[in-house]
Amino acid sequence: MKVFAGNSNRQLAEAICNYLNVPLGRASVRRFADQEIFVEIQENVRGEDVFLVQPTAFPANDHLMELLIMIDAMRRSSARRITAVLPYFGYARQDRRASGRTPISAKLVANLITEAGADRVMTLDLHAGQIQGFFDIPTDNLFALPVLTRDIKSHYDLSNVMVVSPDVGGVVRARALAKRLDCLLAIVDKRRDRPGESEVMNIIGDVTGKDCLLIDDIVDSGGTLCNAADALLAQGASSVTAYITHGVLSGGAVTRVTSSKLRELVITDSIQPTTAVLSAHNIRVVTTAPLIGEAISRTSQEESVSSLFD
């Protein structure tokens, strides 16, 4: 088994390698003067079980091309099996045709990864679970819930905790966390008038005096979370904390979160945190390296991965 990484999140790749007690594979991923990407694998991979760690976060197109070219380089270097490890799968939100004459970009990206030569895909908290079916190769969708659950148990009195879904579509995820914590569940009913904006309409459930934990897979602009926090506090919640897997945090999201009424925003390192994120007083990062590392180890040894989440 060998683990390699592009330029998207080398810190996570190194942490995964530390967990596995293996060195990070030597590879050069650089750009020519015209920004063409060039990859050179600097060690033998013939007959090896290769894992490429590369979340396709901002800049998504560059990091996706890095992944595709690395897969091609490994295939042409006679790697026995190539697993694309995408802690964050970019384009996942384009998983359906929301209106006429639009693409299903998540399916296109799945095709690109498959055609490049990947034998397997491993990802974390897909925006929609059915995206696994977009791939014609084995796909493991890991869940960050065990990581988030451990963090919540170490920071909160569970007798006063209420898990909150920020929208109706996230109820399944929120219910799974509430079951693990053995606590109550509430739902934020919101109406989105236009992309990037949300308006909170109603809170389903009694949150009075509760420490509310908003749970979701992606935080992008941060508007939904901040509006939900305002609504929950207005309904009598004691505090509001958000636990999100993928901290996209584009544009002015960090400023929006730091100036909001959120007690804390907890994200994972599936996307490499920016300097602004690391310096924010109410944003905290927890690592998924042991989770992904264990999944990689079990995949390499042909052991069960799903049992990690039983």
Consult the annotation and say whether 303 binds a ligand: no
Consult the annotation and say whether 304 binds a ligand: no
Consult the annotation and say whether 34 binds a ligand: yes
Consult the annotation and say whether 62 binds a ligand: no
Consult the annotation and say whether 127 binds a ligand: yes
Annotated catalytic residue 261? no
Would you list the DSSP string of the chain?
A: -EEEE-SS-HHHHHHHHHHHT-PBPPEEEEE-TT--EEEEE-S--TT-EEEEE----SSHHHHHHHHHHHHHHHHHTT-SEEEEEESS-TTTT--S-SSTT---HHHHHHHHHHHHT-SEEEEES-SSGGGGGG-SS-EEEE-SHHHHHHHHHHHS-GGGEEEEESSGGGHHHHHHHHHHHT-EEEEEEEE-SSTT--EEEEEES--TT-EEEEEEEEESSSHHHHHHHHHHHHTT-SEEEEEEEEE---TTHHHHHHTSS-SEEEEETTSPPPHHHHH-TTEEEE--HHHHHHHHHHHHTT--SGGGG-
Consult the annotation and say whether 75 binds a ligand: no
Consult the annotation and say whether 223 binds a ligand: yes
Consult the annotation and say whether 209 binds a ligand: no
Consult the annotation and say whether 222 binds a ligand: yes
Consult the annotation and say whether 94 binds a ligand: yes
Catalytic residue (one of 2, 190, 210, 261) = 190
Consult the annotation and say whether 96 binds a ligand: no
Positions marked active-site: 190
Binding site: residue ranges?
Answer: 34-36, 93-94, 127, 167, 192, 216, 220-224
Q: Which residues are annotated as a binding site for Mg(2+)?
A: 127, 167
Which positions make up the binding site for D-ribose 5-phosphate?
192, 216, 220-224
